[in-house]
């Protein structure tokens, strides 16, 4: 998460109504995510990990704590009451990943998970450098590791939230067009190396400031190399605080003077592309006690209205990067109760295949 700062389901009307109402009929803590929903419809991941019905449920837990991500993820599952099918991790440069711990999480026979891995390929270099082939050794090493250790499908995000890394100067090597060229090069290089299990995701920040930039449209790398469109976006549970709102507000941010929000932009300009809310959360300032129930209770109705959203991934941390925002689900007893009710919904019963 950065500071400046998500389905066309085949559910019966009964299941959809239950989702909107937030009926608690989901799986208990650590229950297998392969269970069919109460509608009798069996939902599972298909081509490009798009669920045949329902919505994939995931988490990035323990951010900025320094604790092992796999341990924090399991602890969060116990706290929230559901296996988080998407396991979100972050890597950069020459780091060797997926790590052994990440692979074990994906291959947990009782609770299989899909890895969602962010990779800053350009770390120590520039996007232009990556696009020019100067980090091909790094890309090829990653491909070799995948082919020797990990053949399961996984989500790959390249330099998530690129907006505030853009340097518009033509010779910076970090322009929006440089990002798009870098993204294209990495995906095409991986494919040429024989990697067929990487499902590519572009991860936008979804902030009004950046959407208003003249170069924002240049970030998109092209439909042929983008499998999913991702969004990292948050709302404040404190009234009259920065980005106060509910779930729809983090989807509908728009540049000043524009009438088109982020979700509408994505579905209009890239119809058919599944959308992942790759990071989302409700925050308040550290030290305050604020009920986040309004934010958590608003999720299901919005998912019912927005069928392009196929996955949501909560970013949980007691303190954000700057140490002043609490995005945890258990910052109050009422908040945790509401979140557990959301997590229990059968909409998220999607099997990993």
Q: What is the CATH number of the domain that holds 82?
A: 3.20.20.80
- Antiparallel, parallel or unpaired: β 228-236 and 275-285: parallel
* C-alpha span between 336 and 2 (Å, rounded): 24
- Determine if residue 69 is left, alpha or beta; phi over 0 gives left, psi from -120 to 50 gives alpha, anything else beta: alpha
Which carries the bigger pLDDT value, residue 201 or residue 2?
A: 201
Does residue 271 fall inside a structural domain? yes
**Mean pLDDT confidence for 73-99:** 97
Confidence of residue 296 (pLDDT cuts 50, 70, 90): very high
Tokens coding 61: 């837990």
**Mean pLDDT confidence for 65-94:** 95
- Antiparallel, parallel or unpaired: β 275-285 and 325-326: antiparallel
Does residue 3 fall inside a structural domain? no
Q: Is 202 in contact with 230 (CB distance < 8 Å)?
A: yes
* C-alpha span between 136 and 148 (Å, rounded): 18
pLDDT tens for residues 239-250? 999 999 999 999
Provide the residue range defining the domain that includes 261. 13-351
Q: Is 256 in contact with 243 (CB distance < 8 Å)?
A: no
Confidence of residue 6 (pLDDT cuts 50, 70, 90): very low
User: Taking 70 as the threshold, does the pLDDT of residue 10 lie above it?
Assistant: no
**Mean pLDDT confidence for 269-280:** 98
Q: Calculate what percentage of the chain has a pLDDT beyond 70.
A: 89
* C-alpha span between 212 and 206 (Å, rounded): 11
Beta strand spans in the chain (E): 43-44, 56-61, 86-92, 114-120, 154-158, 198-204, 228-236, 275-285, 309-316, 325-326, 350-351
**Mean pLDDT confidence for 208-226:** 97
* C-alpha span between 188 and 211 (Å, rounded): 27
Structure confidence at residue 19 (pLDDT): 38
Does residue 2 fall inside a structural domain? no
User: Buried b / exposed e across 175-203, counting CB within 10 Å, b at 16+?
Assistant: bbbbbbbbbbbbbebbeebebeebbbbbb
pLDDT tens for residues 139-159? 999 999 999 999 999 999 999
User: Taking 70 as the threshold, does the pLDDT of residue 40 lie above it?
Assistant: no
Structure confidence at residue 1 (pLDDT): 57
Could you identify the residue written with the tokens 């790959």? Answer: 156
Structure confidence at residue 206 (pLDDT): 83
Average pLDDT, the chain: 90
How many domains, the chain? 1
DSSP string, 259-320: ---HHHHHHHHSTT--EEEEEEEEEEETT-----HHHHHTHHHHHHH-TTEEEEEEEE-SS-
Confidence of residue 65 (pLDDT cuts 50, 70, 90): confident
User: Taking 60 as the threshold, does the pLDDT of residue 26 lie above it?
Assistant: no
Q: Write the DSSP symbol of residue 35.
A: P
Residues listed for the chain: 353
**Mean pLDDT confidence for 126-138:** 98
Does residue 99 fall inside a structural domain? yes
Could you identify the residue written with the tokens 């099997």? Answer: 351
Q: Write the DSSP symbol of residue 51.
A: B
Q: Which helix (H) or strand (E) holds 72?
A: helix 69-80
Helix (H, G, I), strand (E, B) or coil at 173: coil
Confidence of residue 53 (pLDDT cuts 50, 70, 90): very high
**Mean pLDDT confidence for 98-114:** 97
Does residue 5 fall inside a structural domain? no
Nearest to 243 by CA among 285, 288, 304: 285
Q: Is 340 in contact with 80 (CB distance < 8 Å)?
A: yes
Structure confidence at residue 332 (pLDDT): 96
Does residue 4 fall inside a structural domain? no
Does residue 228 fall inside a structural domain? yes
Q: Write the DSSP symbol of residue 335.
A: H
Helix axes 333-343, 69-80, angle to 10 degrees: 90
Q: 98 preceded by cis ω (within 30°)?
A: yes
Structure confidence at residue 13 (pLDDT): 30
* Whole-Å CA distances, 85 to 22, 31, 246, 312: 20, 11, 24, 10
Does residue 345 fall inside a structural domain? yes
Confidence of residue 39 (pLDDT cuts 50, 70, 90): low
**Mean pLDDT confidence for 272-277:** 98
Q: Write the DSSP symbol of residue 216.
A: G
DSSP string, 78-105: HHHTS--SEEEEEEETT---S-HHHHHH
User: Taking 50 as the threshold, does the pLDDT of residue 20 lie above it?
Assistant: no
């Amino acid at each position: 998460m950065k500071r400046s700062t998500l389905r066309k389901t085949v559910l019966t009307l009964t299941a959809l109504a239950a989702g909107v109402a937030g009926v608690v009929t989901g799986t208990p803590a650590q229950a297998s995510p392969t269970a069919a929903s109460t509608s009798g419809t069996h939902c599972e991941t298909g081509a490009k990990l798009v669920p045949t019905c329902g919505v994939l449920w995931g988490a990035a837990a323990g951010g900025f704590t320094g604790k092992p991500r796999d341990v924090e993820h399991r602890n969060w599952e116990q706290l929230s009451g559901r296996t988080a099918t998407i396991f979100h991790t972050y890597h950069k440069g020459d780091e060797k990943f997926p790590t052994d711990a990440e692979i074990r999480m994906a291959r947990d026979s009782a609770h299989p998970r899909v890895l969602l891995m962010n990779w800053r390929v350009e770390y120590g270099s520039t996007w232009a450098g990556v696009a020019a082939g100067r980090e091909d050794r790094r890309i090829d090493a990653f491909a070799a590791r995948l082919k020797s250790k990990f053949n399961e499908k996984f989500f790959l995000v390249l330099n998530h939230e690129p907006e505030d890394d853009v340097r518009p100067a033509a010779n910076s090597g970090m322009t929006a067009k440089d990002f798009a060229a870098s993204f294209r090069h990495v995906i095409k290089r991986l494919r040429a190396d024989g990697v067929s299990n990487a499902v590519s995701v572009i991860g936008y920040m979804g902030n009004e400031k950046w959407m208003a930039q003249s170069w924002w449209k240049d970030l998109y790398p092209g439909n042929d190399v983008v499998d999913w469109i991702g969004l990292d976006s948050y709302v404040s549970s404190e009234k009259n605080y920065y980005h106060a709102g509910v779930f729809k507000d983090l989807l509908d941010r728009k540049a000043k003077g524009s009438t088109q929000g982020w979700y509408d932009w994505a579905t209009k300009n890239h119809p058919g592309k599944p959308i992942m809310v790759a990071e989302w959360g409700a925050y308040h300032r550290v030290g305050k006690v604020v009920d986040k129930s309004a934010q958590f209770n608003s999720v299901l109705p919005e998912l019912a209205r927005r069928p392009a959203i196929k996955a949501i991934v909560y970013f949980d941390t007691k303190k954000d990067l700057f140490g002043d925002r609490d995005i945890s689900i258990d910052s109050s007893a009422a908040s945790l109760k509401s979140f557990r009710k959301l997590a229990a919904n059968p909409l998220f019963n999607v099997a990993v295949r």
